[in-house]
Amino acid sequence: MAENVASVKPSGNSEQAQVEAVGNEIASLRAELAALRERLAERTSSVAAHVQEEAASVAGAIREHPAKATTLFMLVGGIGFVAGYLLGAQSLENRSTWYRRYY
C-alpha cells in the first residue's frame, strides 16, 4: 500500500515548480493590471477635460445667442410635447371600455 501512495504523490520539485509558475503568472497579471489602471486614469482625465471644453463651448454659444437658444429649446420642447400627446392619444384609442367588449 505504501508503494501505491508514493506513486500517486508527485515529487516535491515539480510541485515547487508549479507553485513558482503560478506565482510568476500572478505577478505578471498584477503588473498588467497596474498598467491598465494607469492608462484608464490617463484616458479618464482626457475625456473629462474634453467634456468640460465642450460644455464651455456650448455655454459660450448660449451666452452669445440667447434668443436662438431659447427658440431652439422651445422648439424641441414643443416637438416632444406633440409626440407625447400623439402617442398617448393613440394608446387611448386602442383601449376599449370593458362593457363594449361583450357586444
At 95 the three-state DSSP class reads: coil
What are the counts of helices (DSSP H) followed by strands (DSSP E) for the chain? 3, 0
What pLDDT is stored for residue 93 in this prediction?
62
Whether 97 shows a pLDDT value over 90: the answer reads no
What are the pLDDT digits (tens) for 16-64? 889 999 999 999 999 999 999 999 999 999 999 999 999 999 999 999 9
pTM assigned to the model: 0.44
> Is the alpha carbon torsion for 73, 79, 81, 87 positive or negative?
negative
Spell out the domain ranges in the chain.
11-64, 66-95
